[in-house]
Amino acid sequence: MESEAGNGKAGKKGTSESKGRESKDFIRAIIEEDLRTNKYGGRVHTRFPPEPNGYLHIGHAKSICLNFGIAEEYNGLCNLRFDDTNPSKEDVEYVNSIIEDVRWLGYDWGDRLYYASDYFEQLYEYAIELIKMGKAYVCDLSPEEIRQYRGTLTEPGKESPYRNRSVEENLDLFRRMRAGEFPDGSRVLRAKIDMSSPNLNMRDPVMYRILRAEHHRTGNKWCIYPLYDFTHCLSDSIERITHSICTLEFEDHRPLYDWFLDQLGVYHPQQIEFARLNLSYTVLSKRKLTELVNGGYVDGWDDPRMPTLAGLRRRGYTPESIRDFCDRIGVAKRESVVDIALLEHCLRVDLNKRAPRVMAVLNPLKVVIENFPEGLVEEMEAINNPEDPSMGTRKVPFSRTLYIERDDFMEDPPKKFYRLAPGREVRLRYAFFIKCVDVIKDPNTGEIVELRCIYDPETRGGAAPDGRKVKATLHWVSANHAVTAKVRIYDHLFTVPEPGAIKDSDFKEFINPESLIELNNCKLEPSLKNAKPGSFYQFERQGYFCVDTKDSTENSPVFNRSVALRDTWAKIKKKQEAKS
Ligand code: ATP
Ligand code: MG
């Protein structure tokens, strides 16, 4: 990753990789170099700066883990700061969800919860200062005219006819803008930089606009609002951030970031850009996610199919698994698409060790054990998690009538089907061998409705004293003891790996119609009766499931499948390893 070192300051490239330390990403390399040279007096101070105009998604988690993670690693601090300069799109609902999500991920900003809107007065003073220095002017061009005057990548821009207003006139007009004397959109304050700069961001960018919109914090106090580029660098400066880490699309904004700070001669943090996370089979753009929510394509921001942290949490993702994921993907300067299988793999790795294993039949088929006495209940001993003996064991009731998975029986099995079939013997997990002796069908539809089996009482615990073997072990649930529950099987939200990148099409065309399948008659072992919302389990042979926090009621849990057991990522990795 060393070739990707690039903090933009010419000449700093690759200063610290070759010193024999274990490989660090380019951002940590910059920070270590700054610590070595004592650039910020040994301080490391980062921030995570969300705009409260949507819920956080897994891409934001990458930025959160990076900013808070770096602060932790280098004994520094990380602020949570809302970049709330766009009142028409912001809402306290988003503020609250963001606070909840960052905390859920396991990070703590201490008493440093800030809002850019808290700096409005100070930002206004900075703007006045720039006007006094002849570095900012009030412009009366319409938004459309400003766009036309800006020029293009190949053509220089044209100077605004208002560019050379006197300082006095600018001061007067800007104060009157604040006082509410002019209608929305009629005037703006612009930085006076260079209309022929090859960087369009430097062509007299707008600093303030007139907008009568109630702000979720400042109410109607302001009718002018500062724009992002002006606000962001100064907020960083006010908070004495050392390393202002952001995504690559801000690379071209860095000269402007630097310009404002240099003109004003204030404390100057260093902006560093990294590649944003893209994840396959989903979209990570707030605009697109908002479209999915508002268009009713999903059931809200916390729909378990959404890549939002609220959605992932409801799906059953743990903060540990998400932090592990962010750690594994690392940071780089080049954009790429990360395989969603890696995220799923991280969850399996985490839950494999922690989730209690239980038996649950998703598509039940009734089995009657003909030689098992009516009314008798045997308590079978089951292991809660073979990965962790300290999780102990539990008792699972076994009786004459059971359910097994419909898929685990075939009347006319093909060659490689080893599970139950007429005349064949299999093991029931933690119980006995059973053999199928008869198949009962609905006389009208021909559907199999029941299997008649016999069991061998000598095989208690799953082994035959005579040493005979069976080829399959099935999970099962005692019918009389079963908890009937709704289980939701989730799959990727989109059918194609990059739904947002397909030419001439709308990403919503690729929504997976089978991204949610509801099963309403699942039979769970009785220990799940009081499963607490938010708790997670491995359903043996099926996957990891969690109890839905919204739709479960007392004694009636609803389960969401977090992830299936089959680990495609582990397979991909094995193949790669075999190749190299
Ligand atoms: P979106 O593009 O989804 O609308 P945004 O950049 O507008 O996101 P912000 O609230 O401004 O959303 O993001 C807060 C921080 O998270 C920013 O520093 C931004 O760079 C970072 N961030 C946003 N999306 C990603 C991503 N996909 N990967 C990594 N970091 C991201
Ligand atoms: Mg942004």
Closest CA to 311 of 490, 564, 66, 93: 490
Mean pLDDT throughout 203-216? Answer: 98
Q: What are phi and psi of 547, to 5 degrees?
A: -85, 120
| Active-site hit among 24, 286, 313, 427 | 286
Confidence of residue 83 (pLDDT cuts 50, 70, 90): very high
pLDDT digits (tens, 9 = 90+) for 242-300: 999 999 999 999 999 999 999 999 999 999 999 999 999 999 999 999 999 999 999 99
- Name the helix (H) or strand (E) containing 276: none
Confidence of residue 22 (pLDDT cuts 50, 70, 90): low
How far does residue 115's CA lie from ligand 2's centre (Å)? 15
How far does residue 94's CA lie from ligand 2's centre (Å)? 14
Report the mean per-residue pLDDT for the chain: 94
How far does residue 51's CA lie from ligand 2's centre (Å)? 6
Return the best residue to mutate from 60, 79, 82, 94 for the ligand 1 pocket (most ligand atoms within 8 A of CB): 60
For the chain, the distance separating the N- and C-terminal CA atoms, rounded to the nearest angstrom, is 19
How far does residue 60's CA lie from ligand 1's centre (Å)? 5
Query: Identical fold at 26-116+229-338 and 121-226?
Result: no
The string of DSSP codes covering 426-469 is EEETTS-EEEEEEEEE-TTT--EEEEEEEEEGGGTTT--TT---
Whose atoms come closest to the Cα of 52: which ligand? 1
Question: Hey, is 356 helix, strand or coil?
Answer: coil
The string of DSSP codes covering 383-405 is ES-TT-GGG-EEEEEE-SEEEEE
The Cα 439–Cα 453 span in angstroms is 9
Of ligand 1's listed atoms, the one at least distance from the Cα of 51 is: 10
Q: Is the pLDDT of residue 575 over 90?
A: no
Q: Is the pLDDT of residue 54 over 70?
A: yes
Of ligand 1's listed atoms, the one at least distance from the Cα of 250 is: 20
Helices (H), 133-166: 143-150
- Helix, strand counts (H, E) of the chain: 13, 27
How far does residue 285's CA lie from ligand 2's centre (Å)? 10
In this prediction, residue 574 carries a pLDDT of 79
Instruction: Give the closest residue (by CA) to ligand 1 atom 2.
Output: 285
Residues 6 or more apart whose CB falls under 8 angstroms from that of 265 comprise none
Residues 6 or more apart whose CB falls under 8 angstroms from that of 53 comprise 86, 89, 90, 91, 94, 286
- Tokens of residue 382, six digits: 């089951």
In this prediction, residue 121 carries a pLDDT of 98
DSSP β-ladder status, 45-48 and 77-82: parallel
In this prediction, residue 322 carries a pLDDT of 98
In this prediction, residue 5 carries a pLDDT of 31
Helices (H), 482-559: none
Closest CA to 65 of 573, 56, 6, 14: 56
In this prediction, residue 523 carries a pLDDT of 98
- Tokens of residue 292, six digits: 């999915």
Closest CA to 521 of 484, 554, 466: 484
Whose atoms come closest to the Cα of 53: which ligand? 1
- Name the helix (H) or strand (E) containing 554: none
Lowest-pLDDT choice from 20-29, 184-193, 392-401, 484-493: 20-29
Whose atoms come closest to the Cα of 50: which ligand? 1
Return the best residue to mutate from 84, 244, 276 for the ligand 1 pocket (most ligand atoms within 8 A of CB): 276
Of ligand 1's listed atoms, the one at least distance from the Cα of 63 is: 30
Of ligand 1's listed atoms, the one at least distance from the Cα of 64 is: 16
In this prediction, residue 1 carries a pLDDT of 35
Of ligand 1's listed atoms, the one at least distance from the Cα of 277 is: 28
The string of DSSP codes covering 38-84 is TTTTT--EEEE---SSS--BHHHHHHHHHHHHHHHHTT-EEEEEE--
How far does residue 112's CA lie from ligand 2's centre (Å)? 20
| Active-site hit among 276, 288, 366, 541 | 276
Q: Are 204 and 195 in contact (CB under 8 A)?
A: yes
DSSP β-ladder status, 136-139 and 188-191: antiparallel
Q: Are 174 and 124 in contact (CB under 8 A)?
A: no
The Cα 427–Cα 473 span in angstroms is 5
Q: What are phi and psi of 104, to 5 degrees?
A: -60, -40
Closest CA to 60 of 87, 7, 97, 89: 97
Pick the CATH number of 121-226 from 3.90.800.10, 3.40.30.10, 3.30.1300.10, 3.90.870.10: 3.90.800.10
DSSP β-ladder status, 401-405 and 364-369: antiparallel
- Name the helix (H) or strand (E) containing 198: none
Q: What is the CB < 6 Å shell around ligand 1?
A: 49-51, 59-60, 62-63, 246-247, 276-277, 284-286
In this prediction, residue 23 carries a pLDDT of 67
The yes-or-no answer on residue 488 being catalytic is no
Classify 26-116+229-338 by CATH class: alpha beta
Q: Is the pLDDT of residue 19 over 70?
A: no
Q: Is the pLDDT of residue 17 over 80?
A: no
Mean pLDDT throughout 499-514? Answer: 94
Phi-psi label, residue 337: left if phi above 0, alpha if psi -120 to 50, beta otherwise: beta
DSSP β-ladder status, 448-456 and 401-405: unpaired
pLDDT digits (tens, 9 = 90+) for 349-389: 999 999 999 999 999 999 999 999 999 999 999 999 999 99
pLDDT digits (tens, 9 = 90+) for 519-550: 999 999 999 998 999 999 999 999 999 999 99
Residues 6 or more apart whose CB falls under 8 angstroms from that of 232 comprise 49, 83, 116, 244, 257
Return the best residue to mutate from 243, 247, 248, 498 for the ligand 1 pocket (most ligand atoms within 8 A of CB): 247
Residue given tokens 């059931």 in the structure block: 299
Of ligand 1's listed atoms, the one at least distance from the Cα of 289 is: 3
The Cα 355–Cα 350 span in angstroms is 8
Question: Hey, is 282 helix, strand or coil?
Answer: coil
Q: Is the pLDDT of residue 15 over 60?
A: no
Q: Are 465 and 458 in contact (CB under 8 A)?
A: yes
Instruction: Give the closest residue (by CA) to ligand 1 atom 16.
Output: 60
How far does residue 50's CA lie from ligand 2's centre (Å)? 7
Q: Rounded to the nearest 10 degrees, how much is the dihedral formed by the CA atoms of 57, 61, 64, 68?
A: 150
The Cα 35–Cα 285 span in angstroms is 35
Q: Are 6 and 13 in contact (CB under 8 A)?
A: yes
The Cα 315–Cα 545 span in angstroms is 8
How far does residue 246's CA lie from ligand 2's centre (Å)? 9
If one compares 452 and 462, the residue with the highest pLDDT of the two is: 452
- Tokens of residue 395, six digits: 């008792």
Of ligand 1's listed atoms, the one at least distance from the Cα of 245 is: 18
The yes-or-no answer on residue 387 being catalytic is no
In this prediction, residue 576 carries a pLDDT of 80
Pick the CATH number of 485-579 from 1.10.730.10, 3.50.50.60, 2.60.40.10, 2.40.240.10: 2.40.240.10
pLDDT digits (tens, 9 = 90+) for 313-337: 999 999 999 999 999 999 999 999 9
Domain 360-475 adopts which CATH fold?
Answer: Ribosomal Protein L25; Chain P (2.40.240)
Q: State which amino acid sits at residue 464.
A: A
Write down the domain spans for the chain. Answer: 26-116+229-338, 121-226, 360-475, 485-579
pLDDT digits (tens, 9 = 90+) for 86-140: 999 999 999 999 999 999 999 999 999 999 999 999 999 999 999 999 999 999 9
Instruction: Give the closest residue (by CA) to ligand 1 atom 13.
Output: 50
Task: Using a cut of 0.75, tell me whether the model's pTM lies above it.
Answer: yes
The yes-or-no answer on residue 187 being catalytic is no
Q: What are phi and psi of 572, to 5 degrees?
A: -60, -45
